[in-house]
Structures are given as structure tokens and as C-alpha cells.
Structure 1
Amino acid sequence: MDNTKRFSNRVTDYVKYRPHYPNAIITFLQESYQLTTDKLIADIGAGTGISTQLFLDAGYRAIAVEPNAEMRDKAIELLSSYPGFTAVDSTAENTGLADESIDAVIAGQAFHWFNAQNARAEFKRILKSGGTVVLIWNERKTASAFEMEYDQLIITHGQDYVKVGHRNIDFDNIGAFYDPNPFELRVFENQQVFDFDGLKGRLLSSSYSPTKADAGYEPMINDLQVLFNRYQQNGKITIHYDTKVYVGSL
């Protein structure tokens, strides 16, 4: 599958059910990396603009770089009222942005889809001297009994979850991306609380989940209902995340 097309039929669920990012990330970047609000941000693989909005809300100007038309159109719909917002139809490997025009590149839940080597060269081209690259992921925890069984459900029913779920994002690959420069990892707590419909929407927002048109959809939803019924408390279930933030320069 062309990775730039993976989420075209999941935009609604993506907007409604994907986790956002803790505001503490902004404080961390401002205090530790002097990322003041006069800096221009390029959000690469911005999708529907979840990570872009984090920075817009804090007062930054942000360019959302997103090749998927459906996701980019949703970002424009949701964020066009922000005076500092711009969207462009480009990829991580060929952003179309000007040389040395960007103060910080960010990528929220997106870097694992990039060609890391080509993206690195492109980021280095568009970044100003001393510019920062911030790679962000919400990684689901698998500590509780529910979270372990939910992960197994995804492995069982996900079409290519094992193949794509951990590509490019282990510590060694991140280190190779920033090499020879050092980088820092900071971890923040995050969570979502769902009723069953919300949990279903969260599952369906993932590119590896069968859609209603797929033969595996009904068995997956049936297993999800059984899992929810087993662990729900007062009609709710909680998914916990480690929000991992890697920061460095190129």
C-alpha cells in the first residue's frame, strides 16, 4: 500500500478518536530548547492536524505538510481559522519548503512512515542553522490486563500491524537518524477514556484495522465487545500512553 493513502478512508475516526498530545510538550521545548513562539514550525506528515494544533494553540506559526488529500483537507477545515496556519501538499522527503526557512521540524505519529534517510536530508535542507527536529509518538501501554488483551486483539485482527507498528521507531533507529548529533528522549503520561463506541472508533482509526468492507471486520468488533464487557467500569475503559518526544538537531 502507498503509505500516503493509508488513512484516506479513516479521516472521521482519526479526528474523533486519536489521542492528542500533552501541553507539557510545549513547556518542555520552550524551557529546554528555547523554542519561543516567534519560531516557525513545519509539521511533517501532519495528517488531520492534531500535532499542528498543539503548536497553533500555543501561539506558533505552523505549516502542515501532508500528502494525503483527505487528511489535509480536514486539517484545513479544522485549523484555517488560526492566523498562523498554512497547509501544503508535500511529503517528508520533498516538502517543497524553502532552504533554511524553518526553525523546528516536528512529526507527530508520522516518522515511521518516512524514508528516514531521505527525510533527514530534506529536514537538514529546510532547517535554519541550529534548528530542532522533534519526533513525537503516543505509544499505547500494555501494562494492564485490558491493555495486554487489546494489543493481542490488534495483532490477531490487524492486517499488517506487526509489520508497520514498530518500523523506524526503536531507540537505535532514532539514534541513527540524529547521528552524529546527540538527542534527548522525554516521556509524558497520556490517556484516553472511552465508552464502547469510542473504543471501536479508536480501533478503526488505525490503518491496519479491517474496515466494514473487509471480511475480518465483524469478528474483530465481536471480540472487541467481549473485551470491553470484561474490563469496563461504569461503562468506560481507559487506554494509557507514553507520549515519547525525541529532540535533537541535524
Structure 2
Amino acid sequence: MATDEMPGHWYDAYELGRPGYPAQVVDVAELAPSATVLELAAGSGKLTRRLSSRFAHVVAVEPDRGMRRLLAAGCPGVEAIDGTAERIPLADDAVEAVFVAQAFHWFDNEAALAEIARVLRPGGALVVLWNVANGPVVPSITAVEELLAPVWPQDFGLPLDMMSGDWAPNAWSLPFAERTFDPICDARLPNPQTLDPEGLVAFFGSMGWIANLPDEERRPLVDAIRSHLTAAEYVLPWQTRVQWTRLEASQ
């Protein structure tokens, strides 16, 4: 995952506009509240807050300094440290579970799985989750879609499909994964997000291909998005897909 900091305005937009995760995701692996859990690529702490309300000790690894500042401010009881999925700064057998939200696609799969297996205790859980679109925004934002079409990546659907609903980590088919982890469990959980116009502006502004535009291009574009949002609130019909497994007890 890239470690360079994004423009300063991006962090606030990410925290305001991006969806969180349903409460059930912290319970899929049936972990005890006393568990020590690790979150990789924790970002601004959207999942971290769920984890810290459930588990006794949460360690959050995040390589981006700007994100870590948000993470530390929003999750004061969490141990937030620099690191990556490929080089986790923890001892062997340190945690009972590893969580990854909206980030596994950035990892070097084999190196990350080897590190996850190293820090997990035998029988420990790995939980991977991500949000995908599950229908159109209500009310319609067709005018915003048309406005953004020239800058939106061609392989991403408008306006919400940051990755296909059929996407899943290809790491599970690696020989290392098959001999190290149990078969994958899979669930899909409803996760609708309601945003006011400023929140929806922030959602779009948190996209890298908008956030990284020069200010003289980005600001007029963001203002134009805002001008098309006239409803009091918008519902984004996210669905959270969760996959989880356990490290084989013999490992």
C-alpha cells in the first residue's frame, strides 16, 4: 500500500464521505471480547471504532501518516502504529484475529498472507471485508454522474462501484493459503449509508482521481458537484461483503 500522504483536504473528505461497516462484521469469527485483534490498513478508523467497542485490545497498523493522525484522534484507546501488511511490526503469535477492511486489493497477496499467518495464533481468524454498491443512489444523481464521467476511471462503474460486487481476493487460491488457512466463509450484509449533500460531496472528493487534481481543476469540479445536489439527504445502498477463515490449528 502506498505510504505517501495524500493532499490534506483528502483526509477529512474520506472520513466524512466514505461508508463505515455494519456492527455484525466484528462477530462473524465468534471471537471473545477479551481477544487481542489486529487491523491492517486501518485508515481513518471506520472499522477500528467497531473493533475497539468490542475487543479488549486493538492494534491498528496504517502506513499513511495523515490517516494515522485521524486514527489516533478518533480511536484514543487503540494502539496505532506504522507498518504494512507485508511487514507487520508485531511478534509471532501476537493476535487472535486480523481484520482488513477495503484494503486487501492493495496487498502483495503472498507476502501479506505469510505475515498474517506469522502474527496469528494457531486457530486465529482472518476477516476481510469491503463495501460494494447494491443499487442506485436515492434520489437519483444522474446529473453528477454525467458531470464526473470525463474524469471517472473507465473500469469503475458510476457512481459507487469502487470494485465489482463479484470481486474477491485472489489470494485464497494460492498454494500457501490453501495449506495454511481453513476454507473461506462468506457473507453479505446490508450497509446503507445516508449522507447530506456535503457528505456526498465529500464522498466524491475522497476519490483519488478527484483529490489529486490540481486545485484550479478540483475546486470548480467539487463546486459543480455540490450545485447538482438539491435533496436534503441521499441514501447510498451499500452492501458489505465479508470473507473469513482461520489459521489451521497445526500451524
TM-score by length of 1: 0.81
**TM-aligned CA deviation for residue 86 of structure 1:** 0.6
In structure 2, what is the equivalent of residue 248 of structure 1? 245
In structure 2, what is the equivalent of residue 185 of structure 1? 186
Identity of aligned residues (%): 23
Aligned residue for 2:217, secondary structure, equals coil
In structure 1, what is the equivalent of residue 208 of structure 2? 207
Deviations 1:86-136 (A, max 9, x none): 111111100111011111000111111111121111101111111111011
Question: In the aligned structure 1, how far is the partner of 2:224 from the partner of 2:195?
Answer: 17
**TM-aligned CA deviation for residue 4 of structure 1:** 2.6
**Counterparts of 1:59-74 in structure 2 under 5 Å?**
59-74=55-70
Deviations 1:194-214 (A, max 9, x none): 222111011112223245615
Deviations 1:219-246 (A, max 9, x none): 46525643x34xx3xx221111001111
TM-score by length of 2: 0.81
Deviations 1:46-69 (A, max 9, x none): 111111110101233110101101
For the pair 1:44 / 2:37, whether they are aligned, the reply is no
Give the residue type in structure 1 aligned to 2:178.
Answer: D
**TM-aligned CA deviation for residue 158 of structure 1:** 3.1
In structure 1, what is the equivalent of residue 96 of structure 2? 103
**TM-aligned CA deviation for residue 8 of structure 1:** 5.2
In structure 1, what is the equivalent of residue 24 of structure 2? 24
Question: In the aligned structure 1, how far is the partner of 2:107 from the partner of 2:41?
Answer: 9
**TM-aligned CA deviation for residue 170 of structure 1:** 2.0
Aligned-residue RMSD, C-alpha? 3.0
Question: In the aligned structure 1, how far is the partner of 2:26 from the partner of 2:65?
Answer: 28
Give the length in aligned residue pairs: 236
Give the residue type in structure 1 aligned to 2:51.
Answer: F
Answer 1 or 2: which has greater helix percent.
Answer: 1
Change (3 A) 1:201 1:212: farther
On the 8 A contact 1:160/1:208 being kept in 2, the answer is no
Q: 2:224 aligns with which of 222, 239, 242?
A: 222
Question: In the aligned structure 2, how far is the partner of 1:108 from the partner of 1:194?
Answer: 21
On the 8 A contact 1:106/1:134 being kept in 2, the answer is yes
Deviations 1:136-185 (A, max 9, x none): 11212344683787667655423687499439x82361532643531111
Question: In the aligned structure 1, how far is the partner of 2:222 from the partner of 2:155?
Answer: 14
Aligned residue for 2:116, secondary structure, equals helix
